[in-house]
Structure 1
Amino acid sequence: MISDVLLPMSAGGSTPDFTVRALDLSVIIAYLVLSRIIPLVAQSRMKKKAKAGGKETDESEDYFLGGRNFLWPFVGLSLVATNMSGATFVGLAGGAYEQGISIFAYEWMSAVILVIFIFFILPFYLRSKVFTLPEYLEQRYDRRSRMAFAGFNLFANMFIDMAAALFAGAVVVKVLYPDVPMLVSVAVLALLAAVYTVIGGLGAVIISDSIQATVTLIGGVIVLIATFNAVGSWDAVTEAAGEERMSLILPADNPDLPWPGLITGVLVIGLYYWTTNQLVVQRTLGAKSLDHGRWGSLLAGFIKLAFLFLFILPGVMALAIYPELDDPDTVFPTLVFDLLPVGVRGLILAAVIAAITSTVDSILNSASTIVTMDFVKTLRPDTSQRGLVFSGRVATVVALVVAIAWAPFIAQFDTLYEYLQSVLSFLVPPVVAVFLVGIASKRISATAAFVTLVVVQPLGLLAFILTQVVPEEPTIQFLYAAGLSLALSVVMLVVISILGPSPDESKTKELTWKKDYWTEETAALKGVPVWANYRLISVVLLLTTAGIVIAFA
């Protein structure tokens, strides 16, 4: 009967039927085809329009930074799409099911960090005209720091960011097709993302991200409405979840997210991700101007606040419908197949694929940019523009293969979000220190930056293995470990800098903070309309963030 095909199972009944119907499959295929064609066609037209208008860019700048011509809506949506990944649907819902809405800390903290980024960090990045953040370190410090950080970026791209995104997609595929090996699922998802990344570069990625962010957000709205309708009332949600799962601020002895960890860990991880990670910052490096970079970042901040309702609360609501799921990371596909009709399921699955591929394509472009600009161009400066682009494409394929091989190993962690936050807590604090302290103080030397990176990061990796992987239970809460690592990094930076000679002024003059910058900008902003004044919009974003945190504290 038609009703048997079009209507979902009753919520809370037997195990959902995870069969992908013909209509679902048609929607998914149509999406996959269109989402690969549209970005390439649109990018081609944009390039022709730019040439017709007399704007010429280097082939490498066009491929890796889209000609530095992105308007703020594209910057903002691309930032969100890159961040959403498969971990948004799968990881946030699973994490919320297991530990409650407290995982929203990573989202609301992002809004605060993006404000810090556009006020104090982004201006220096755009002033330096760099392709990559390792290149920025060479301008601020020296080539040693550039190479050390470039190497870490490649490691993080392949073993943390891309592997996690592919694993999240494989979790969904495993639910739908249990007999398909995870390695096969990962490989297929990776190839889907690689198609337009290899061909079109960042220009195609930005356009694709904008489309996919929109689709993903629509998918989140649909799942939220369907889940709440299945639960029936807010009281049923709070009763099933309990007081602790419905609180953003948890006790200091909480094993998952103790409140001091918001400062010692969540803030540190967020500063790395939003201000020093090539994967994310590359979107703002391609902005048409500083204003477009700032407005796009603010748009991303407002959308991040909506994640509480679109991706986290459905995971908490699921406690009232499925109180005894064995694997938290299967919450999202269970909601989709149990609560949504055929056809709509296909749209949501397309949104998941959008989230996964948008992150993977961004990571691939980031990795290829670093390999090309930080290694190939640095070691072989005479390489032609065409040769640089070819090197980037080869690097994309290699990074893809490595991530495909590593992704299945993530399964040993309880949840995807636990893997991401734990490993970052041990590895990124020295990066945050080197960038931010280097911008804040002209006294920090090149030797101090290099030593901090090459000493503290390997120690962090060793500590991660010894405290999180080897023992049956972690021997230190990872958010506290991040704070300890940051403190060690700052001490090393300061002490080594004081003991050595002062840096050359040519390395610090334009790339360290001065009060004059603020005074000059204040004068320039007089008379600027309210809607265009990034400072006023930033205040609105911070007040909105504070309101949500207080409401759910």
Structure 2
Amino acid sequence: MAVDYAVIVVYLAGMLGMGWWGMRRAKSKSEFLVAGRRLGPWMYSGTMAAIVLGGASTIGGVGLGYQYGLSGAWMVFTIGLGLLALSVFFSARIARLKVYTVSEMLDLRYGGKAGLISGIVMWAYTLMLAVTSTIAYATIFNVLFEVDRTWAIVLGGTIVVAYSTLGGMWSITLTDMVQFVVKTIGVLLLLLPIAIVKAGGFGEMKAKLPTEYFDPLGIGGETIFTYVLIYTFGMLIGQDIWQRVFTARSDRTARWGGTVAGTYCLIYALAGAVIGTAAKVLFPKLDNPENAFATMVKEELPVGVRGLVLAAALAAVMSTSSGALIASATVANNDIWARLRGAVAPRGDGEGGEGAGTDRDEVKGNRAFILIMGVAVIVIAIQLDTVLEGLTVAYDLLVGGLLVPILGGLLWKRGTVHGALAGVIVGGLVVIAMMWQYSVLANEPVYYGLLSSLAAYVIVSLTTRPTDAAVLANWRERLSGRGGEEAAGETGETGADGAAGEAGAAEPASVPS
């Protein structure tokens, strides 16, 4: 075990080192929040795959494989499908907008007023996503090293908060690349083949398990449909995902890099299900399916390899946790706090200024919000029990409240700001009410929430004044890649990739212009 501990300590120390290195590059708001919009295909693909494949995809995916067999791959598989759809159909347009948050996109499309409400819903989603990832530390440390659950959450959460606060998106990008490599080696190249061999191969697995474990639809059609609604559509609109799209240096990078990452997710989904199926053969009496991953690592892997695979699990958890954390902080600062402060404070207090001093203030403010959100995530994670429960709450709110207004804004020019607000509010409230009526893990909340959001959006949009022609003209300009950089007056270090205007982003109920 000493060797395994050493591997983990080296890995965690490396994450902190990457955070310190990233701090040297994060000198402006653009560098801190979206890595200067300068990531190339290789780094973009790795970081995008890292953010979407977290603790739920790794520990939860193996757990579903343990419980349902190969059909347990569907949860992660639908995540990959969503990422592919985002990359092929929407990523280029999203990247051209040169904004920082989804709510800024809504304000740009609808002409203001939608940002605060949508920001609150998006903040709740990103916060819960960070919480679910943080909970996963307890599963890893508790089963493998018998570390107390609370201390496991505090330890893992503190390291993520530290490197995220230091360097923002640059630190997270650098750590995600390391985590992507570690995860690939640990899960795909080591744990997967070892699990199959230890279980006696597929022939032995089929002989010892019920036939439904090898039925591609064994998990149930309704469950698969719900996964598509929650995860496939959730990938299209989440702030944590869009914030990675904003880091791409070109349309081509966003499209093809995301396609590579989505394909990787499909492979990862199948690998997790196979590992879980093998675990069912080896350990048929586990009380909690989510312990299947950690039990396999603890009982079946040799010293040294065990530490590397554990590092892979930590990599999966940390990549999603850090991405969700910076997304939550970005939304809280830019979409909620800046707007509320703007409503009660006079303009001209230095937020819209230019120059190095303003850059430092912007970075300092976002750093403070990451720290605050990080502490909140750790505290909430200690109170909750399961990963899938928190993840379901997060995605139900996201899809039920924001899917229709966001996709409607991208695809339907007749949608109005009042329709968008109605869709967000009605959809979100129905999701919450249905969770209370049925249960957190029930399928009904997202069904009713999505349908009510669609009805409210369409009806209110058709019965209110169409969006102003000037707003739509500006929207089309931004979608074509014109207007954002020139107005912002901010470029990356190479001068090729400007970010959205920092002054505009800080203004209440507006977008960079």
TM-score (norm: length of structure 2)? 0.85
Compute the displacement of 1:119 (Å): 3.6
**Which residue of 1 is the match for residue 469 of structure 2?**
505
Aligned partner of 2:396 among 419, 422, 425: 425
Match of 1:447 in 2: 418
Q: Which amino acid aligns with 1:183?
A: T
Task: Say yes or no: does 1:183 pair with 2:157.
Answer: no
Does residue 231 (structure 1) correspond to residue 199 (structure 2)? The answer is: yes
**503-512 vs 80-89, which moves further:** 503-512
Task: Give the letter aligned to residue 109 of structure 1.
Answer: T
Mark the CA change 1:422 to 1:191 in structure 2 (over 3 Å): closer, same or farther. closer
Whole-Å Cα distance in 2 between the matches of residues 34 and 300 of structure 1?
24
Deviation at 1:301, TM superposition (A): 1.0
State the distance in 1 between where 2:271 and 2:87 align: 26
Contact 1:169–1:189 (CA under 8 A) maintained in structure 2: yes
Q: Deviations over 1:84-115 (max 9, x none)?
A: 22223321111211122223223333343333
Letter in 1 for 2:16: R
Provide the rounded CA distance (Å) in 2 between the counterparts of 1:42 and 1:150: 27
1:124 aligns with 2:88: no
Offset, 1:177: 4.2
CA distance in 1, matches of 2:104, 2:170: 21
SS at the partner of 1:326? coil
Counterpart residue type for residue 178 of structure 2: I
Which whole-Å CA distance do the structure 2 matches of 1:241 and 1:399 have between them? 44
Matched residue SS, 2:221: coil
1:217 aligns with 2:191: no
Determine the structure 2 residue equivalent to 1:73.
42
SS in 1 for 2:384: helix
Distance in 1, Cα, partners of 2:216 & 2:402: 28
C-alpha displacement of 1:43: 6.9
Q: Find the counterpart in structure 1 of residue 329 from structure 2.
A: 368
Following TM superposition, where does structure 1 have runs of at least 4 consecutive aligned residues deviating by more than 6 angstroms?
none
The counterpart of 2:125, out of the listed 156, 169, 173, is: 156
Which of 62, 72, 76 is residue 107 of structure 1 equivalent to? 76
Q: How does 1:244-255 map to 2 (within 5 A)?
A: 244-250=212-218
Q: Which residue of 2 aligns with 1:485?
A: 449
Residue identity opposite 2:459 in structure 1:
V
| Closer/same/farther in 2, CA of residues 368 and 497 from structure 1, 3 Å limit | same
* Structure 2 equivalent of residue 27 of structure 1: 7
Aligned to 2:31: 62
Question: Letter of the aligned partner of 2:427 in structure 1?
Answer: V
Q: 1:438 to 1:220 in 2, by over 3 A?
A: same
Identify if the C-alpha distance between structure 1 residues 213 and 41 changes in structure 2 by more than 3 Å, giving closer, same or farther. same
Matches of 2:206 and 2:138 in 1, distance apart?
A: 31
Residues 404 and 418 (structure 1), Cα distance of their counterparts in 2 relative to 1, 3 Å cut: closer
Task: Tell whether 2:193 aligns with 1:193.
Answer: no
Higher deviation after alignment, 337-346 or 106-115: 106-115
* Contact 1:376–1:391 (8 Å) recurs in 2: no
Deviates more, 1:104-113 or 1:181-190: 104-113
**1:340-379 superposed matches below 5 A:** 340-378=301-339, 379=341
| Residues 131, 380 of structure 2: 8 Å contact kept | yes
In the TM superposition, what is the alpha-carbon distance from 1:419 to its structure 2 partner? Answer: 4.6
Letter in 2 for 1:432: L
Change in CA separation of 1:423 and 1:65 when aligned onto 2, cut-off 3 Å = closer
> What residue in structure 2 maps to residue 205 of structure 1?
172
Query: Offset at 1:266?
Result: 2.2
Please give the alpha-carbon distance, in whole angstroms, between the structure 1 residues aligned to 2:474 and 2:230.
27
Aligned equivalent of 1:310, options 264, 271, 280:
271
Is this contact kept in 2: 1:28–1:350, CA < 8 A? yes
Note the C-alpha offset of 1:425: 3.1
Q: Distance in 2 between matches of 1:248 and 1:438?
A: 36
Would the alpha carbon gap of residues 468 and 277 (structure 1) be closer, same or farther in structure 2, given more than 3 Å must change? same
**Greater Cα shift, 146-155 or 240-249:** 240-249
* Partner AA of 2:359 in structure 1: Q
Counterpart-to-counterpart distance in 2, 1:418 and 1:144: 32
Does 2:240 align with 1:286?
no
Give 1:294's aligned amino acid.
R
Contact 1:441 1:512 in 2 (8 A): no
Judge conservation of contact 2:73–2:272 (CA < 8 Å) in 1.
no
**Counterpart secondary structure, 2:114:** helix
Amino acid at match of 2:49: V
The question of 1:328 aligning with 2:289 is answered yes
Q: Partner residue of 1:457?
A: 428
- Identify the match of residue 106 of structure 2 among 121, 137, 141: 137
Q: Distance in 1 between matches of 2:111 and 2:432?
A: 24
Change (3 A) 1:299 1:327: same
SS at match of 2:172: helix
Q: How many angstroms apart in 1 are the aligned matches of 2:476 and 2:408?
A: 9
Deviation at 1:211, TM superposition (A): 1.0
Q: How does 1:508-547 map to 2 (within 5 A)?
A: 508-509=472-473, 511=475
Q: CA deviation at 1:25?
A: 1.0
Aligned length: 465
| Aligned mates of 1:239, 1:144 — CA distance in 2 | 60
Structure 2, unpaired ranges of 5+: 352-357, 481-513
Q: Percent of pairs identical after alignment?
A: 22
Give the deviation of 1:508 after TM superposition.
2.8
Where does residue 400 of structure 1 map in the other structure?
A: 374
Q: Is the 8 A contact 2:161 2:322 kept in 1?
A: yes
C-alpha RMSD of the superposition: 2.4
Structure 1 regions of 5+ residues with no counterpart? 1-20, 48-56, 251-256, 518-553
What is the deviation of 1:489? 1.3
1:92 and 2:61 are equivalent in the alignment: yes
Structure 1 residue aligned with 2:17:
37
Quickly say closer, same or farther: Cα 1:391–1:38, change in 2 above 3 A: closer
8 Å Cα contact 2:34-2:243 kept in structure 1:
yes
For residues 132-167 of structure 1, the C-alpha deviation after alignment (integer angstroms, 9 at most, x for no partner) is: 111111101243321112112221222x21111111
Q: Which amino acid aligns with 1:167?
A: I
Supply the distance in 2 between the matched residues of 1:321 and 1:418 (Cα, whole angstroms): 27
Change (3 A) 1:39 1:397: closer
Contact residue 160 and residue 322 of structure 2 kept, 8 A: yes
